[in-house]
Amino acid sequence: MTDPTRPAVYLDHAASTPMYDEAVAAITRQLTQVGNASSLHAPGRAARRTVEESRETIARALGARPGEVVFTSGGTESDNLALKGLFWSRRDADPRRVRILSSAVEHHAVLDALHWLADHEGAELELLPVDRLGRLDVDALRDSLARDPGSVALVSVMWANNEVGTLQPVADVVAAAHAHDVPVHTDAVQAVGQVPVDFASSGVDALTLTAHKLGGPYGVGALVVRREVDVTPLLHGGGQERDVRSGTIDVPAIAGFAAAVEVAVGRQAEHALAVSALRDDLVAAVQAQVPDAVLNGDPVDRLPGNAHLTFPGCEGDSLLMLLDARGIACSTGSACSAGVPQPSHVLLAMGCGEEQARSSLRFSLGHTSTGADVEALRAAIAPVVERARAAGVVSGLGASKKIAG
């Protein structure tokens, strides 16, 4: 049996990618230092200096000002802070502003926060449609804004989709929303380090990123938010982060986060070139072995490391298990708490049937991926699909009942 902690072939970088050496070194340096970054003495000032240098590093890499970077515990907290914080402050300023416009393919950290606002805070949620490639229908957004612009609290559209990899037309979204002075949030968790992301030139008002998707540690991320935008806090306490986010500052994690951002953004162009070439090889290799495998998402405007494929007649979780047994780690979409596979809301929103939605796998490549990974998948995929197809038929896809009679 392969060592489960070191899969031979790791093709799930979109879930979490290995830490860069630079990030490990930065964290390790800080782990033995004492000093609360809010303390006034020398050790406290030293910790604060590390935090502020990290903030400057991240701001520089993302085209933001240091004061715009608010550290959080990660993507989910940043999304919740942006959505709830913007909704509350915008509604407080004008009680008519209760509409939230977003897309049907957002991550659950966005969707579930929005549903909570709808269920508990009277928000009126409009999840706008996407096309067959998973790309937002910007005309639908424009129509929705124009219908009654004064009632819109905010717009939130992800930078890149975590499942199928499609890049969203963020510039068009910003232009449409800003025409009515409506602020825009974007979840850029999958995008930073993969495609060029520049906060200032993008025009967005708030942007979510997280460290562990770009070679940093778990449990730390940031909401980059323009200084003139009011955000009502979620966590109350010491007000450590611009009075928007309280909680003792995690200095080692932030140091590692900044080191990772610096490396990932610094190498983004060459990384994207190398990884997308590898990804194209992977898709070609799989389709050579399984000719009816279908690539989902936008074939051109997509994340460089993302290959999302449908294998007709197979259940995704059968494929995942069989590949896992051969030391190949991939994903059926976004993980869920009970481990019960639900058909992907992203694929359903793209117009796929439930069967196709359950028959899909995401392979995502990253900075440690090599041609050997692609070769291992090429060698494994045909027999795995054949087996999963046989099992797919008995367990409901095309349901036949052999033994039960």
Partner 1 sequence: MSGGVDSAVAAARAAEAGHEVTGIHLALSRNPKSYRTGARGCCTIEDSNDARRAADVIGIPFYVWDMSDRFHEDVVEDFMSEYASGRTPNPCLRCNEKIKFAAVLERALALGFDAVATGHYARLVTGDDGVVQMHRAVDHGKDQSYVLGVLTQEQLAHSLFPLGDSPKSAIRLEAEARGLSVAQKPDSHDICFISDGDTGGWLREKLGSGAGDVVDHESGEVLGQHEGSFGFTIGQRKGLRIGRPTADGQPRYVLDIEPVSGTVTVGPRAALTVDRIEGIRPRWCGTPPERLEGSVQLRAHGDEHRAVVTVDGDAVSVELLDAAQGIAPGQAAVIYDGSRVVGSCTISAARRTAGEA
Instruction: Return the active site residues.
Output: 336
Q: How far apart are CA 333 and CA 173, in angstroms?
A: 25
Measured distance CA(222)–CA(67) in Å, rounded? 12
Beta strands in 30-68 (DSSP E): none
Q: Which two tokens stand for residue 372?
A: 């050997």
The answer to the question of residue 401 lying near partner 1 (CB under 8 A) is: yes
Least separation, in Å, of the C-beta of 342 and partner 1? Answer: 8
In this chain, which of 4, 40, 41, 300 binds partner 1, going by CB under 8 A? 4
Based on the shown chain and the rule CB under 8 A, indicate whether residue 6 belongs to the binding site for partner 1: no
Contact 385, 290 (CB under 8 A): yes
For the chain, the 3-state helix, strand and coil shares in percent, each to the nearest 5, are 45, 15, 40
Q: Can residue 105 be called a binding residue for partner 1 (CB under 8 A)?
A: no
Nearer to partner 1, 7 or 63 (CB): 7
Cβ-based nearer residue to partner 1, 137 or 324: 324
Please identify, using beta-carbon distances, which residue of 167 and 322 lies nearer to partner 1. 322
- Which residues, at least 6 apart from 60, have a Cβ–Cβ distance to it below 8 Å? none
Minimum separation from the CB atom of position 395 to partner 1 (A): 4
**40 scored as a contact of partner 1 (CB under 8 A):** no
Cα separation, 392 vs 376, in Å, equals 23
Return the residue of 34, 40, 42, 403 that touches partner 1, per CB under 8 A: 403
Cβ(228)–Cβ(211) below 8 Å: no
**Per CB under 8 A, does 393 bind partner 1?**
yes
Judged by CB under 8 A, does residue 3 bind partner 1?
no
Phi-psi region of 322 (alpha: psi -120 to 50; beta: other; left: phi over 0): alpha
Cα distance between residue 340 and residue 315, in whole Å = 13
* Closer to partner 1 by Cβ: residue 126 or 315: 315
Asked if 180 and 145 touch (Cβ cutoff 8 Å), the reply is yes
Candidates 129, 149, 247, 341; binder of partner 1 (CB under 8 A) is 341
Residue 340 binds to partner 1 (criterion: CB under 8 A): yes
Select from 40, 42, 300, 404 the one that contacts partner 1 (CB under 8 A): 404
- 325 belongs to the binding site for partner 1 (CB under 8 A): yes
Asked if residue 291 binds partner 1 (CB under 8 A), the reply is no
Q: Does 334 bind partner 1 (CB under 8 A)?
A: no
Whose Cβ is closer to partner 1: residue 317's or residue 375's? 317
Nearer residue to partner 1 within complex by CB, 122 or 383 = 383
Q: Which helix (H) or strand (E) holds 126?
A: strand 124-128
Q: How far is the CB of 384 from partner 1 (least distance, A)?
A: 10
Q: Interior CA angle at 222 toward 16 and 154, to 5°?
A: 110
3-class SS of residue 403: coil
DSSP 19: P
Cβ nearer to partner 1, comparing 111 with 154: 111
- Rounded to a whole number of angstroms, the minimum distance from the CB of residue 379 to partner 1 is 17
Q: Which of 142, 321, 326, 348 is in the footprint of partner 1 by CB under 8 A?
A: 321
Give 86's DSSP letter. H
Report in angstroms how near the CB of residue 360 gets to partner 1 at its nearest.
15
Q: Which residues contact 395 (CB under 8 A, 6 or more apart)?
A: 315, 318
Q: Which residues bind partner 1 (CB under 8 A)?
A: 4, 317-318, 321-322, 324-325, 337-341, 387-388, 390-391, 393-396, 401-404
